Amino acid sequence: MFGLFGKSSSPERIGPGPFGRFVLQELVASGGMADIWLATDSHNRAHAMRLMLPEFAEDRAARKRFEHGCEVLASVQSHPNVIGYFEHGKIEGQMFCLMEYVEGANLKELFARHDPVMTENVAQIILDMAEGLEHIHESGFIHLDFKPENVLVSRNASVRVVDFDLAQPLAEAPIKLTKNPGTPAYMPPEQLRGDPIDQRADVFAFGVAAYELLTNAKPFPGDDVNEILQGQLDRAQFLTPRQLNPDIPVGLERAILKCIENDPNKRYPFMSVLVRDLKAALYL
């Protein structure tokens, strides 16, 4: 459900049943560093509980990353398009983050099965993704891992941006990352090259995700970083969104193309300007 990362080894993962003052009901997602459980409290209220896997308990970098993601999530509350946060800490020695439970799936899953929730609400989903990112930036952070796997959509098409483990504070000038984790297909050229980045990296990632949702293709496909970067820079095989899907409104295509400009100075400087153009293009 939450598109996290996955790896399993001993010691064994926790199973369903009592866990501190909660009861773990059902494992709803598994990833490399954490599991996501449907958990209920003493009032039988449902929550999503993210539990760090026990094999990472002695990994200082993993613990720091997990806690960082929790702290950023707490800092970007409250917005209808960002997953709700309640608390984080340790229970029975295991790091956890208690979040809003949303019954649904991530956009990658919905996209893969052509789910009507996505296909019938794609315009509103695109706008909600943009407004979620706008709020994150206005709260002082860059997401830095924005992609369909990190966009949760409920059964009534309500959007939540999730997974803030890689987020960084929004600085006055572009920052150079000491490490460059993330998903290359959604990174702009300056990030793939290891150059300084700012919020316009998220603008680019949003444009790639919107392009993909509307065309069933990635704008810059590739099997590795070099191939993706080369596709971004020469654009010899690049097709505009309307070449693949003529039903896309002209104004929406124009906005997406502006998001995925190679030169960050030619992209939208702020998500708020993009949101304005999306509303005009989509009549929302």
Instruction: Give the mean pLDDT of 23-36.
Output: 90
What are the catalytic residues?
A: 145
Provide the pLDDT for residue 207: 98
Is it the case that residue 9 has pLDDT exceeding 80? no
Rounded average pLDDT over 216-232: 94
What string of H, E and C letters represents the secondary structure of the chain?
Answer: CCCCCECCCCCCCCCCEEECCEEEEEEEEECECEEEEEEECCCCCEEEEEEECHHHCCCHHHHHHHHHHHHHHHHCCCCCCECCEEEEEEECCEEEEEEECCCEEEHHHHHHCCCHHHHCCHHHHHHHHHHHHHHHHHCCEECCCCCHHHEEEECCCCEEECCCCCCEECCCCCECCCCCCCCHHHCCHHHHCCCCECCHHHHHHHHHHHHHHHHCCCCCCCCCHHHHHHHHHHCCCCCCHHHHCCCCCHHHHHHHHHHCCCCHHHCCCCHHHHHHHHHHHHCC
Q: What is the pLDDT of residue 245?
A: 96
With bands split at pLDDT 50, 70 and 90, how would you rate the model's confidence at 179? confident
- Asked if 33 and 4 touch (Cβ cutoff 8 Å), the reply is yes
Please state, in angstroms and rounded to a whole number, the distance separating the CA atoms of residues 190 and 94.
37
Q: What pLDDT does 24 receive?
A: 97
252-266 pLDDT, tens digit each: 999 999 999 999 999
Residue 6, pLDDT score: 37
pLDDT at position 80 over 90: yes
> What residues have CB less than 8 Å from 72, skipping those under 6 apart?
141, 164, 167
Predicted local distance difference test score (pLDDT) of residue 29:
87
Does pTM surpass 0.85?
Answer: yes
* Burial class of 232 by CB neighbour count within 10 A (0 to 12, 13 to 18, 19+): buried
Whole-number pLDDT of residue 83: 98
* DSSP-assigned beta bridge partners for residue 99: 48, 85
Span 44-78, pLDDT tens digits: 999 999 999 988 888 999 999 999 999 999 999 99
- Residue 11 confidence class, pLDDT cut points 50, 70, 90: low
Q: Is the pLDDT assigned to residue 168 strictly greater than 50?
A: yes
**205-222 mean pLDDT:** 96
The rounded mean pLDDT for the chain is 92
Distance of CA 194 to the CA centre of its chain: 21
Nearest by Cα to 103 from 43, 178, 49, 156: 156
The Cα 152–Cα 79 span in angstroms is: 14
Specify the range with the lowest mean pLDDT, choosing from 117-121, 177-181, 234-238, 240-244. Answer: 177-181
- Is a pLDDT exceeding 90 seen at residue 275? yes
Q: Is the pLDDT of residue 4 over 50?
A: no
Q: Model confidence over 97-149: pLDDT tens digits? A: 999 999 999 999 999 998 999 999 999 999 999 999 999 999 999 999 999 99
pLDDT for 182: 84
Q: Which residue has the tokens 């003052």?
A: 21
pLDDT band at 3 (very low <50, low <70, confident <90, very high): very low
Q: Residue 284 has what pLDDT?
A: 65
pLDDT tier at 12, thresholds 50, 70, 90: low
231: burial class by Cβ within 10 Å (0-12, 13-18, 19+)? middle
Nearest CA-CA partner of 128 in 69, 14, 77, 136: 136
